[in-house]
Amino acid sequence: MRPKKHLGQHFLTAPAYAVKIAEAISLGSGEQVLEIGPGHGALSQHLKRRIPKFHLVEVDEDAIGRLRQKLGAGEYVIHCEDVLQFDYAKAGFPVHVVGNLPYNIGALIIKKTLLYSPAVLSCTFMVQKEVAQRIVSGPHSKANGFLSVFCQFFGKVKLLFHVPPGAFFPPPNVDSSVFQVIVDQDVEQKLPRDQWQEFFKFVDAGFSMRRKQLAKVLSMRLGMAKDVYGTELEKIGAGEAARAEDLDVNLWLGLFRRVR
């Protein structure tokens, strides 16, 4: 099956990496699994061996026949839909989500998936190496950014392993990495769900001018005097001269609660 460039398709062809991804999912009784973008089934066949009854969502109609042929008979369910429009409830909750994500929409899929938390128990995704490194990055790092804070808000993030270009057809121009988020089941106690979008907009505003001090950036973007933000940054222990990259998710939450 020829990869379609407009869908960002790079098919995983190295079985060893597919096995490692399938085995990384810690599945409990009554929990479901949803695979995003199975393509020609390199990962799917190993998921089927572990979890005979699971769901797959694939936008490419041409891939469905090939996928069914490779998987054979079984209790799995294939949804031919765009994942960005797909309702994860069709796979059943609670659910673990896994997949080799297209580079061009990977961040959108990550955000959509984690916003289902805590009904989504975990996500195990292969993405561009640079993106995975940003996701697991901590404070005081140039890699620390919005996606770092976003993912770490939902739970424990872990970089599992790297995957070279030669493991795909066609080989991408960059290395890939597999990361995992284990979702905190008390995430709604950390911050009420009706405040999530407001919090993420707050963080996004803070990272909009990374080189400037955060107090100045927030004052410019959201209003209120710079000195007010500086005072609150000092109170939470970040320091009034802190930049956005200096804060971890807990400091972001502390600052948001104080100035909201």
> What are the distances in angstroms from CA 178 to CA 8, 16, 62, 227?
17, 13, 26, 41
Print burial letters for 139-172: b (CB count within 10 Å at least 16), e (below 16): beeeebbbbbbbbbbbbebeebeebeeebbbeee
pLDDT at 1: 56
Place of tokens 């600052």: 255
Instruction: List the chain domain ranges.
Output: 5-186, 193-259
Tens of pLDDT, residue by residue over 173-212, are 889 999 999 999 999 999 999 999 999 999 999 999 999 9
2: pLDDT strictly greater than 70: no
CATH of domain 193-259: 1.10.8.100
Rounded distance, CA 168 to CA 190, Å? 39
What secondary structure letter does DSSP report for 113?
A: H
Tens of pLDDT, residue by residue over 203-256, are 999 999 999 999 999 999 998 999 999 999 999 999 999 999 999 999 999 999
Query: Tokens representing 111?
Result: 């955000």
The pTM (predicted TM-score) of the whole model is 0.94
3-state secondary structure of 110: helix
Rounded distance, CA 256 to CA 195, Å? 10
DSSP 170-235: SPPSS-EEEEEEEE-TTHHHHS-GGGHHHHHHHHHHHTTTTTS-HHHHHHHHH-S-HHHHHHHHHH
| 34 touches 55 (CB < 8 A) | yes
Sequence length of the chain is 260
Fold of 5-186: Rossmann fold (3.40.50)
